[in-house]
Amino acid sequence: MPGVVIIGAQWGDEGKGKVVDLLAADASTIVRFQGGNNAGHTIVRDGEEFKFHLIPSGILYEDKTCVIGNGVVVDPRVLLGEIDGLRRAGVGVGDLKISANAHLIMPYHVLLDTAGETKLGKHSIGTTRRGIGPCYADKALRLGIRVQDLLDEKILRTKIRAALEPKQQALRELSVLRRKRLKEAGEDAKAVSEPAGDGPDPRIDLHTMVEEHVAYGHRLEPHIADTAKLCWDALDADETVIFEGAQATLLDLDHGTYPFVTSSNPVAGAATVGAGVGPTDITEVWGVAKAYATRVGAGPFPTELHDETGERMVDQGREFGTTTGRRRRCGWIDLVALRYAVRLNRIDALAITKLDVLRGLGPLRVAVRYRSREGAVLDSFPYHQSILHSATPEYEELPGFDEEIGECRKEEELPRAARDFLAYIAEFTGVPVRLVGVGPARDQVVWLD
Ligand code: IMP
């Protein structure tokens, strides 16, 4: 019963989609278990680039079941957009299944996300503004709307009405606050389009929302299923099921750099809850990490570079978000954080992506410990946010490489320095590097023993 979890081991955008796509070759089922359309996977196949936000990366295979699990938050408009896009590209979506228990991102969640960030001002988290946090909050408050509710207009109306009332009030208050701020700044408040003005906002009108969502329900109905059972059936038949994480370990709501995190649990353990399987269904955990590190949004990032090397990482790695287009913050690989991710997720194998980006950036640095403001040596990832915020990394320097590695397909074809760099990561974290990305295309990988 091979249940393989693939998760991000840094701050996201590690290239999980490509790793899932490759490992999915031997799987029957690929399941997303958390997050929503805050994620973005780019897969290049036969020269064609596909971008997904919600649909699991395995969709490009014809014979795989792709599942959006109960732990995912689904914006139905976005999902239908992706389904339509795939159909236009000639990709079949018949085997896409959506958990009836997954929660829906409603228009008011998106408005609340933006309004909340605006209210936080310079303390904002830098969310993707896709409504993720407010949707998970409603789930915990038991005010959420679930995928199955799309199939019953009466229930849908009752639930939206109940959920909407406190939102309208919150949005009104935020709107007043925003207008006040704009006025203080001498700007014309009326000229700015507000999330929700003093009058009713058509985007969150009850009648309109119900009508729209009933229509979404009609279109999604053939895909709605008991997806936990689907996973059990596959596992019990000895098929391989891949549990595909979104975001990453250091953005985990419980174990990441709170509050600069996402509102779900991207760690491997969450695959059980978000897909509906047991811990012993998981037989292998893969962690995906870039050969350097990136982060979008606010929050601590000890190895962040503000120099020319950081700029070159942005350029050479095309480090702009798939979802929001934001420029990613870049820095050297942080092995203190990676070792933390390895233990937290009990990672069995590492995939190191984008090694080619480090070409010409030598000598290569790897962070091996932090130093606190008071001068203490920190060998492990500090649990206290204030310490992490002010920690400075200490590096080991390794030789760089200038050779083009995009054509390498075997370990021995990689330059000596690149191999030594990978061996250092494996040694430091105690986990083998099994897969290395040497370029964006699907076949630009090197499998290691
Ligand atoms: P949210 O998930 O939109 O609420 O955003 C919370 C934090 O997680 C922000 O710092 C985002 O930039 C970050 N984040 C969310 N999704 C991703 C992702 O797929 N990759 C990288 N960062 C992400």
| Listed residue (155, 149, 162, 164) closest to 217, CA to CA | 149
What single letter denotes the amino acid at residue 63?
D
Pocket test for ligand 1, best of 14, 262, 326 (most atoms within 8 A of CB): 262
Using CB distances shorter than 6 Å, the residues near ligand 1 are 12-13, 38-40, 125-128, 130, 132-133, 246-247, 251, 260, 262-263, 296-297
CA distance 80 to 197: 29
Compute how many other C-beta atoms are within 10 angstroms of the C-beta atom of residue 320.
13
Annotated catalytic residue 384: no
CA atoms within 13 A on the CB side of 1: 13
> Which pLDDT score, from 0 to 100, does residue 216 have?
98
> Among the atoms of ligand 1, which is closest to the Cα of residue 129?
3
Compute how many other C-beta atoms are within 10 angstroms of the C-beta atom of residue 80.
15
> Which pLDDT score, from 0 to 100, does residue 189 have?
54
Annotated catalytic residue 306: no
> Which pLDDT score, from 0 to 100, does residue 223 have?
97
Per-residue tokens: 64: 């795989």
> Among the atoms of ligand 1, which is closest to the Cα of residue 296?
12
Contact status, residue 431 vs residue 287, Cβ threshold 8 Å: yes
CA dihedral sign of residues 362, 367, 368, 370: positive
CA distance 278 to 271: 9
Per-residue tokens: 44: 């290049």
> Among the atoms of ligand 1, which is closest to the Cα of residue 128?
3
Per-residue tokens: 213: 């969502």
Per-residue tokens: 33: 């278990």
Which residue is associated with the tokens 């409504």? 131
Contact status, residue 165 vs residue 172, Cβ threshold 8 Å: no
pLDDT digits (tens, 9 = 90+) for 40-67: 887 777 778 888 899 998 898 989 999 9
Q: Cis ω on the peptide bond leading into residue 382 (within 30° of 0)?
A: no
Nearest CA to ligand 1 atom 8: 262
Strand partners, 225: 99
CA distance 18 to 27: 15
> Which pLDDT score, from 0 to 100, does residue 199 have?
55
Q: What is the DSSP string of 270-316?
A: HHHHHHT--GGG--EEEEEEESEEEE-SSS--TTB--SHHHHHHHHH
Which residue is associated with the tokens 């954080």? 337
Q: What is the DSSP string of 140-174?
A: HHT---BGGGGG-HHHHHHHHHHHHHHHHHHHHHH
pLDDT digits (tens, 9 = 90+) for 17-30: 999 999 999 999 99
Q: How far is the CA of 11 from the centre of ligand 1 (A)?
A: 8
| Listed residue (235, 364, 243) closest to 309, CA to CA | 364
CA distance 28 to 347: 22
Which residue is associated with the tokens 């938050």? 73
Cα of 331 vs its chain's centroid, Å: 19
> What angle, rounded to 10 degrees, do the helices at 132-141 and 107-120 form?
110
> Which pLDDT score, from 0 to 100, does residue 187 have?
65
3-state secondary structure of 40: coil
- The pTM for the full model equals 0.94
Pocket test for ligand 1, best of 124, 290, 296, 324 (most atoms within 8 A of CB): 296
Instruction: Put the strands of the sheet holding 349-353 in their side by side order.
Output: 224-225, 96-99, 65-68, 29-32, 241-244, 3-8, 284-290, 349-353, 433-437, 445-447
Q: Give the DSSP letter of residue 105.
A: P
Query: In the chain, which stretches have pLDDT less than 70?
Result: 1, 187-200
> Which pLDDT score, from 0 to 100, does residue 172 have?
81
Nearest CA to ligand 1 atom 16: 38
